[in-house]
């Protein structure tokens, strides 16, 4: 059973508009959430994270929102740029030295 | 270098052969993780090291898979008698030591290498 789900395999957005990538989780023990971006033939690159004590974290064009009651988080990219085109992975972990649990990713295409 | 490095970047092997994949973590990172990504799938956890010990091997798919870490640094993932279903991208990640007055964000984030693309024919 998938503990982290990204239900949209792909998303297409026009340059300059907002991209919203969604992620749902089932394990209530998760207390730390991350977004990674992956270009072809490269490893995942850390983008932004949020701990469960917060409901929002912002870094430049990227904002992550966490709704613990709904077990849902989202990544907002605004304004979207063509260079943002990549696969975005949502990941979660619980306290302690635990591995990350990843979703299957959402492929974002930003069209100029 | 400053980041996680992995070698080889690509490996093509014949079914039944053994392969060895290497990971050099970021200097000073005590935790090291191996994941793999099969075609069209998310990242699947394989094994985790804290220092040289592996407290969590729960993700290793079979006893053909093993890993070791020496000197608290370099790690090697070995796949014996490779099968076609072993074809995947094998990714290594490292994480900073917990504590030391660092922010939670800095302590928890795993940083990935570029991966080794393994193809078993």
| Cβ of residue B31 closer than 8 Å to a chain A Cβ | yes
CA distance linking residue B24 with residue B62, whole number of Å: 24
User: Smallest Cβ distance to B111: which of A42, A46, A91?
Assistant: A46
pLDDT-derived band of residue B101, with 50, 70 and 90 as boundaries?
A: very low
Looking at chain A, the whole-number percentage of residues with pLDDT higher than 70 is 98
Facing residue for A99 by CB, picked from B56, B104, B111 = B56
Q: Which of B110, B111, B114, B118 to substitute to test the interface with A, most A CBs within 10 Å?
A: B110
A6 within 8 A of B43, measured Cβ to Cβ:
no
> What whole-number distance in Å separates Cα of residue B68 and Cα of residue B34?
11
Distance from CA of A42 to the nearest CA of B (A): 5
Return per-residue pLDDT of chain A as tens, 112 residues. 789 999 999 999 999 999 999 999 999 999 999 999 999 888 999 999 999 999 999 999 999 999 999 999 999 999 999 999 999 999 998 876 578 899 999 999 999 9
* Residue contact B108–A105, C-beta within 8 A: no
Interface-testing mutation among A44, A54, A58, A92, with chain B (most B C-beta atoms within 10 A): A44
- pLDDT band at B98, cuts 50/70/90? low
Strand segments, DSSP code E, in chain A are 4-5, 10-14, 19-25, 32-38, 45-51, 56-59, 62-67, 72-77, 86-93, 101-102, 106-111
Choose the closest CB to B42 out of A49, A98, A103: A103
Residues contacting B104, CB < 8 A, separation 6+ = A32, A51
Give residue-wise pLDDT tens across range B49-91: 988 888 888 899 999 999 999 888 999 999 999 999 999 999 9
From chain A, the residues in CB contact with B112 under 8 A are 36, 43-46
| Set of chain A residues whose Cβ sits within 8 Å of the Cβ of B109 | 34, 46, 49
List strands edge to edge, sheet with B65-69: B5-7, B19-24, B75-79, B65-69
Give burial (CB, 10 Å; 0-12/13-18/19+) of B27: exposed
> What pLDDT is attached to residue B102?
45
Is any Cβ of chain A less than 8 angstroms from the Cβ of B4? yes
How confident is the model over B18-33, as pLDDT tens digits?
Answer: 999 999 999 888 889 9
Alpha-carbon distance of A6 to A94, in angstroms, equals: 19
Using the predicted structure, report yes or no on whether residue B99 has a pLDDT greater than 60: no
- How close B83 gets to chain A, by Cα (Å)? 22
Q: Cα(A92)–Cα(A73) distance, rounded to whole angstroms? A: 10
Number of C-beta neighbours around residue A38 at 10 A: 22
CB A21 within 8 A of CB A37: no
Using DSSP bridges, classify how beta strands B43-50 and A62-67 pair: parallel, antiparallel or unpaired.
unpaired
């Amino acid at each position: 059973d998938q503990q982290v789900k990204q239900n949209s395999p792909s998303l297409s957005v026009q340059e300059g508009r907002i991209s919203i990538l969604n992620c749902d989780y089932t394990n209530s023990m998760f207390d730390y959430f991350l977004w990674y971006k992956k270009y072809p033939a490269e490893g995942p690159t850390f983008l932004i994270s949020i701990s469960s004590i917060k409901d929002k974290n912002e870094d430049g064009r990227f904002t992550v929102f966490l709704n613990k009651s709904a077990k849902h988080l989202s990544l907002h990219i605004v304004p979207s740029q063509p260079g943002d085109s990549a696969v975005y992975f949502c990941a979660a972990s619980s306290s302690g030295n635990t591995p990350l649990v990843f979703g299957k990713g959402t492929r974002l295409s930003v069209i100029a | 270098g400053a980041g996680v490095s992995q070698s080889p970047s690509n490996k093509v092997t014949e079914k039944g052969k053994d392969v060895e994949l290497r990971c050099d973590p970021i200097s000073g990172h005590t935790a090291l993780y191996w994941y793999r990504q099969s075609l069209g799938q998310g990242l699947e956890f394989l094994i985790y090291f804290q220092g040289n010990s592996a407290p969590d091997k729960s993700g290793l798919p079979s006893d053909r898979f093993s890993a070791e870490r020496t000197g608290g640094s370099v790690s090697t993932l070995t796949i014996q008698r490779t099968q076609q279903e072993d074809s995947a991208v094998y990714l290594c990640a490292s994480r900073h030591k917990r504590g030391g007055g660092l922010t939670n964000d800095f302590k928890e984030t795993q940083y990935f290498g570029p991966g080794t693309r393994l193809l078993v024919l």
